[in-house]
Structure 1
Amino acid sequence: MSQQTIFVSGATGTVGGAVAHNLLKANIAVHALVRDPDSPAARALADLGARLTKGGYDDDAPLKDAMKNVNGAFLNLTPDFIDHTWELRTAKRIMAAAKEAGAVHFIYSSGFAVQAPEKLEHCDPDSFVSMVLHSKQSIEKAVREAGFEYWTVLRPGSFSSNYLLPQAAPFPDLINKGRFANAFKPTSKIPTLDPYDIGGFALAAYRDPTRFSRQEIPLSSEMLTVDEIMAKLSKASGKDIRAVFLTEEEIDSQKAGNPFIAGQLAARDMDQFADEENTRSWGITMTTFDEFLERERERVMQTYAQLA
């Protein structure tokens, strides 16, 4: 059987990088579109054998070149804070290019709650968070209707990497003071996931497309409160790290201008979308938060180096 070739979007980022590394280590060829082939992340992929094309998703020629000879594609996009139509528009461009290139299996990394954001009690339907969820919902619909022989939707929860640099940069008090000011409730259960495990699911799906086709799979390894997450960070770093729960008044004054606060508020009851039986049924080993912190020990120490 000829070697599989998969186009991976966002291959130098957290999710796309996890997918690309999993595929390359399994001897599955990876094609990717990158803006800077000389960046450390791009060079690391190239060293593993990825075929990189310089360009952006809005450039027809580079996108077509990156799709040459692929038989599958992986889609992961970050919302544009300015152009709210960019994500859906770009997803459709990537789908069309993959279809034209002959891809038969299309996997989309979506997110928790995307199938029914209206069930989130604290999600303002007019908010940026709601707009993002509905945009991803539209992308899911487009994936189902695109005509691929096989399609799979993965819905990952909250990334374990959100508490380490560079992802933790939007939380300066966490890094500099060891205090995580947040809009969760102390009782909120956060469906936590090592993003590298998304790559494990994608690899399994590309290896067995029939089993994974037309499946929509929620991904989380464990349900943790914010206090539990901070305690684990404290233990791993040896530093004093704690949660600070904002008052409702503080949240109201910040949520319009801070998408992270608005997102945390909306995610207070995100655990309702977890389905451990479904997730575990695929037989893929999931990484706990403790295991993630142990593997990323160097990043843990670098992130919290300023704390006493």
Structure 2
Amino acid sequence: MTILVTGATGNVGGHVLRQLRERGVPVRALTRNPAAAKLPDDVEVVAGDLAAPETLDAAFEGVSAAYLITFDGSDGSALTTGPEIAKRALAAGVRHVTMLWSGQPGPLEADIAASGLSWTTLQPVEFMSNTLLWADSIRTEGVARDPFAGLRSAMVHEADIAAVAVETLLNPGHNGREYVLSGLEVLTVPDKIAQLSAATGRDIRFVELTEEQARARLRDMGASPEAVDHVIGWYADPPVEGYTVVDTVERVTGRPARTFAQWARENADAFR
């Protein structure tokens, strides 16, 4: 029962890969550049790109289920190749796909649902790893920079997103489900900084970016214009789901979601 993991070097995909391996499940990792992928030696790595479905036949061969991202890994734009992805997955005998929603509207989810494949969609709120955007400036200046200081967020740990994904890939009962995922608490920017300060033993200051400065930072990171608009729009006017705590992680996995304080301790070295 081989599981295909796309985005296997990403913040969530990496956790999906590790958790499947810990459960003894054979894993195949899809990446656009296998030579550059730093993955364990016992993981089968294949070249392919969800934006170019003609490259996916070898990836889907012999796979029982697949973890898919709904966005182009090169620039964050929504994938429009859903019908061809579904066609090739079905032809290879894939039975179920779990999709990580990017947070922006896109056609892939609807295309997969219309194809006849069994599917689950994961809709996480803000990733805790988004705070890694502050890592360089905290290390060098003791400063975190972000727009919209008043933002509230029910941030979710990437390992919890992965844990839900793994359950949906390995166990029945998740077909047609759309799971909204959050952490255990609603945090403000000062809350995040206080917890990072406690984890790192450093005094961290906050400097609020203007919207244009935030847009420029995203563009410099390679984000598409659509992705920039989406991210800035979300921060400026987050949906109620973004600051609402839900118990999905515990309901699906049987254990509570992790806290940001735990994430901060696990990743403290990135900010020192």
What TM-score, normalized by structure 2, do the two folds share? 0.82
Per the alignment, in what secondary structure is the counterpart of residue 75 of structure 1? strand
> Does the alignment pair 1:155 with 2:123?
yes
Aligned to 2:191, the other structure's residue is in SS state helix
2:110 to 141, 145, 168: 141
Per the alignment, residue 99 of structure 1 pairs with 90
Asked if residue 183 in structure 1 is aligned to residue 174 in structure 2, the reply is no
- 1:258 Cα deviation after fit: 4.3
2:178 paired residue number: 216
Does structure 1 residue 290 correspond to structure 2 residue 261?
yes
Aligned residue number for residue 124 of structure 1:
none
**2:66 aligned partner:** 73
1:32 paired to 2:22: no
| Structure 1 equivalent of residue 10 of structure 2 | 13
CA deviation after TM superposition for structure 1 residue 278, in Å: 4.3
8 Å contact from structure 2 (residues 149, 208) kept in 1: yes
Contact 2:160 2:258 in 1 (8 A): yes
| 1:52 is aligned to 2:45 | yes
Distance 1:294 1:257 in 2: 30
Distance 1:275 1:162, change over 3 A: closer
Contact 1:192 1:289 in 2 (8 A): yes
Separation in structure 1 between the aligned mates of residue 160 and residue 172 of structure 2, nearest angstrom: 18
**Contact 2:147–2:214 at 8 Å: present in 1 too?**
no
How far apart are residue 242 of structure 1 and its match?
A: 2.5
Preserved CA contact (<8 Å) 2:20 2:166: yes
- One of 149, 158, 163 as aligned partner of 1:200: 163
The two structures, once aligned, show a CA RMSD in angstroms of 2.8
- In the alignment, is residue 41 of structure 1 matched against residue 38 of structure 2? yes
1:92 and 1:284 map into 2 onto residues whose CA distance is: 36
Partner of 1:233: 196
For 1:82 and 1:161, locate their aligned partners in 2 and report how far apart those are by CA, in whole Å: 18
Return structure 1 stretches of 4+ with deviation > 6 angstroms: 80-83
Q: What is the distance in 1 between the residues matched to 2:182 and 2:165?
A: 14
Over 3 Å counting, the alpha-carbon distance change for 1:92 and 1:185 in structure 2 is farther
* Matched residue SS, 2:28: strand
Check the 8 A contact 1:30/1:50 in 2, yes or no.
yes
Aligned-pair distance for 1:62? 4.9
- Taking the aligned partners of 1:80 and 1:27, their CA distance within structure 2 comes to 27
**How far has the Cα of 1:205 moved from its partner?**
1.2
For residue 51 of structure 1, what is the amino acid of its counterpart?
Answer: E
**Residue segments in structure 2 that go unaligned for 5+ positions in a row:** 220-227
CA contact (8 A) 2:62 2:92 kept: yes
For residues 223-263 of structure 1, what are the alpha-carbon distances to aligned partners after superposition, in whole Å with 9 as ceiling and x for unaligned? 211110111111111112122234xxx32x44554448852
Give me the whole-angstrom Cα distance separating, in 2, the residues matched to 1:92 and 1:159: 28
Alpha-carbon deviation of 1:275?
A: 5.2
1:265 deviates by: 5.0
1:8 and 1:141 mapped to 2: Cα distance?
20
Report the 3-state secondary structure (helix = DSSP H, G, I; strand = E; otherwise coil) of the residue aligned with 1:234: helix
Which one is further off, 175-184 or 259-268?
Answer: 259-268
1:95–1:191 CA distance, 2 compared to 1 (3 A):
farther
Aligned length: 259
1:127 alignment partner in structure 2? none
Using the aligned pairs only, state the percent identity.
27
**Shift of the alpha carbon at 1:208?**
2.1
Question: Does the 8 Å contact 2:50/2:81 carry over to 1?
Answer: yes
CA deviations on 1:145-202 (whole Å, 9 max, x unpaired) are 1211x210001122222223xxx27x7534422222222242x211211111122101
Q: What is the alpha-carbon distance in structure 1 between the residues aligned to residue 111 and residue 217 of structure 2?
A: 29
Q: Map Cα deviations across residues 73-108 of structure 1 (whole Å, 9 max, x no partner).
A: 111154467695xx4234444333222211111110
Alignment of 1:118-133 (within 5 A): 133=104
Match of 1:304 in 2: 271
* Partners of 1:219 and 1:83 in 2: CA distance: 20
